[in-house]
Amino acid sequence: MEIDMKLKRRIFALARAAACTAGLVGVAAAAPGHAQSPALKRQGQIVCGSFSGDPKKYPAWNDNMEIAIEAGTLVATPSRPKGPVMRGAVGVSGAILVAGEGGPVEGTAEWTYEFAGKLNPKGTTVIRGQLADIKGGQAKRQCSITF
Protein backbone atom coordinates (compact mmCIF):
# COMPACT_ATOMS: atom_id res chain seq x y z
CA MET A 1 0.00 0.00 0.00
CA GLU A 2 1.95 3.02 -1.25
CA ILE A 3 0.62 6.48 -0.47
CA ASP A 4 1.47 9.20 -3.01
CA MET A 5 3.67 12.02 -1.68
CA LYS A 6 1.01 14.74 -1.96
CA LEU A 7 -1.47 12.69 0.11
CA LYS A 8 1.29 11.75 2.55
CA ARG A 9 2.17 15.43 3.09
CA ARG A 10 -1.51 16.27 3.70
CA ILE A 11 -1.86 13.42 6.21
CA PHE A 12 1.31 14.47 8.03
CA ALA A 13 0.16 18.10 8.12
CA LEU A 14 -3.17 16.97 9.58
CA ALA A 15 -1.31 14.82 12.11
CA ARG A 16 0.79 17.74 13.30
CA ALA A 17 -2.30 19.94 13.56
CA ALA A 18 -4.15 17.28 15.54
CA ALA A 19 -1.21 16.28 17.73
CA CYS A 20 -2.07 18.54 20.63
CA THR A 21 -5.11 17.83 22.75
CA ALA A 22 -6.57 21.28 22.11
CA GLY A 23 -6.52 20.58 18.39
CA LEU A 24 -8.34 17.29 18.85
CA VAL A 25 -10.92 18.92 21.11
CA GLY A 26 -11.52 21.52 18.38
CA VAL A 27 -12.06 18.75 15.80
CA ALA A 28 -14.42 16.96 18.19
CA ALA A 29 -16.41 20.13 18.83
CA ALA A 30 -16.88 20.54 15.09
CA ALA A 31 -18.36 17.02 14.87
CA PRO A 32 -21.71 17.29 16.66
CA GLY A 33 -22.88 13.87 15.46
CA HIS A 34 -20.08 12.15 17.38
CA ALA A 35 -20.20 14.59 20.27
CA GLN A 36 -23.72 13.36 21.00
CA SER A 37 -22.92 9.67 20.43
CA PRO A 38 -22.19 7.52 23.47
CA ALA A 39 -18.55 6.72 24.18
CA LEU A 40 -17.25 3.58 22.51
CA LYS A 41 -14.63 1.29 24.10
CA ARG A 42 -13.35 -1.86 22.43
CA GLN A 43 -10.47 -4.23 22.78
CA GLY A 44 -8.29 -4.21 19.69
CA GLN A 45 -4.99 -5.31 18.26
CA ILE A 46 -2.20 -3.73 16.26
CA VAL A 47 -0.35 -6.02 13.84
CA CYS A 48 2.82 -4.79 12.12
CA GLY A 49 5.02 -6.43 9.53
CA SER A 50 8.79 -6.54 9.79
CA PHE A 51 10.79 -3.30 9.63
CA SER A 52 11.92 -2.82 6.03
CA GLY A 53 15.31 -1.42 7.14
CA ASP A 54 16.39 -4.64 8.90
CA PRO A 55 13.68 -7.34 8.86
CA LYS A 56 15.79 -9.95 10.69
CA LYS A 57 16.65 -7.62 13.55
CA TYR A 58 13.15 -6.09 13.73
CA PRO A 59 10.61 -8.83 12.86
CA ALA A 60 6.84 -8.55 12.66
CA TRP A 61 5.00 -8.01 15.96
CA ASN A 62 1.56 -7.43 17.41
CA ASP A 63 0.10 -6.02 20.60
CA ASN A 64 -3.31 -5.76 22.23
CA MET A 65 -4.80 -2.27 22.50
CA GLU A 66 -7.72 -0.61 24.17
CA ILE A 67 -9.55 1.65 21.73
CA ALA A 68 -11.67 4.49 23.11
CA ILE A 69 -13.71 6.87 20.97
CA GLU A 70 -15.43 9.81 22.58
CA ALA A 71 -16.55 13.18 21.17
CA GLY A 72 -14.82 12.57 17.83
CA THR A 73 -11.46 11.63 19.38
CA LEU A 74 -9.90 8.15 19.13
CA VAL A 75 -7.29 7.04 21.67
CA ALA A 76 -5.50 3.70 21.16
CA THR A 77 -3.64 2.55 24.29
CA PRO A 78 -1.30 -0.45 23.86
CA SER A 79 -1.00 -3.13 26.53
CA ARG A 80 2.81 -2.84 26.58
CA PRO A 81 3.85 -0.39 29.31
CA LYS A 82 6.28 1.45 26.99
CA GLY A 83 4.05 1.34 23.91
CA PRO A 84 3.07 4.79 22.63
CA VAL A 85 -0.53 5.94 22.96
CA MET A 86 -1.87 6.81 19.50
CA ARG A 87 -4.43 9.58 18.98
CA GLY A 88 -6.65 10.53 16.11
CA ALA A 89 -9.98 11.88 14.98
CA VAL A 90 -13.25 10.29 13.88
CA GLY A 91 -15.36 12.37 11.52
CA VAL A 92 -19.15 12.57 11.46
CA SER A 93 -19.15 10.18 8.48
CA GLY A 94 -17.10 7.63 10.46
CA ALA A 95 -13.86 8.40 8.62
CA ILE A 96 -10.88 7.74 10.92
CA LEU A 97 -7.43 9.37 10.80
CA VAL A 98 -4.88 8.37 13.43
CA ALA A 99 -1.54 10.09 12.89
CA GLY A 100 1.38 11.45 14.87
CA GLU A 101 4.87 10.68 16.16
CA GLY A 102 6.00 8.00 18.58
CA GLY A 103 9.00 6.44 20.23
CA PRO A 104 9.92 3.79 22.78
CA VAL A 105 9.92 6.37 25.58
CA GLU A 106 7.12 8.90 26.12
CA GLY A 107 8.07 12.23 24.56
CA THR A 108 10.63 10.85 22.10
CA ALA A 109 10.01 10.91 18.36
CA GLU A 110 11.61 8.08 16.39
CA TRP A 111 8.82 7.29 13.93
CA THR A 112 5.62 8.63 12.51
CA TYR A 113 2.39 6.67 12.48
CA GLU A 114 -0.44 7.09 10.01
CA PHE A 115 -3.62 5.00 9.91
CA ALA A 116 -6.86 5.59 8.04
CA GLY A 117 -10.14 3.76 7.63
CA LYS A 118 -13.84 3.91 8.37
CA LEU A 119 -15.59 3.15 11.66
CA ASN A 120 -17.94 0.15 11.65
CA PRO A 121 -20.12 0.85 14.72
CA LYS A 122 -21.88 -2.53 14.46
CA GLY A 123 -18.90 -4.77 13.73
CA THR A 124 -15.16 -5.03 13.31
CA THR A 125 -13.27 -1.93 12.22
CA VAL A 126 -9.89 -2.24 10.47
CA ILE A 127 -7.70 0.80 9.86
CA ARG A 128 -4.51 0.37 7.84
CA GLY A 129 -1.31 2.35 7.73
CA GLN A 130 2.32 2.35 8.66
CA LEU A 131 5.04 3.25 11.10
CA ALA A 132 7.86 5.11 9.33
CA ASP A 133 11.38 5.83 10.64
CA ILE A 134 12.21 9.53 10.99
CA LYS A 135 15.72 9.07 12.41
CA GLY A 136 17.74 8.71 9.23
CA GLY A 137 16.05 6.30 6.89
CA GLN A 138 13.13 5.48 4.71
CA ALA A 139 12.37 2.21 6.50
CA LYS A 140 8.81 1.44 7.54
CA ARG A 141 6.41 -1.19 8.84
CA GLN A 142 3.03 -1.83 7.24
CA CYS A 143 0.44 -2.19 10.00
CA SER A 144 -3.24 -2.54 10.77
CA ILE A 145 -5.30 -1.84 13.86
CA THR A 146 -8.41 -3.98 14.32
CA PHE A 147 -11.11 -3.30 16.90
72 burial via Cβ count (<10 Å: 0-12, 13-18, 19+): buried
Residue 70 has phi, psi (to 5 degrees) of -150, 130
The CATH number for 74's domain is 2.40.160
List pLDDT tens digits, range 10-59: 554 544 444 433 333 334 444 444 444 668 899 999 999 998 878 888 89
CA–CA gap between residue 104 and residue 56 (Å, rounded): 19
Provide the domain count of the chain: 1
Sign of the Cα torsion 78, 13, 115, 2 reads: negative
Bridge-based pairing state of the strands 111-118 and 61-70: unpaired
Q: Is the pLDDT confidence value at 80 over 50?
A: yes
Show the domain range for 124: 5-146
pLDDT tens by residue, 87-138: 999 999 999 999 998 876 666 778 899 999 999 988 999 999 999 988 777 7
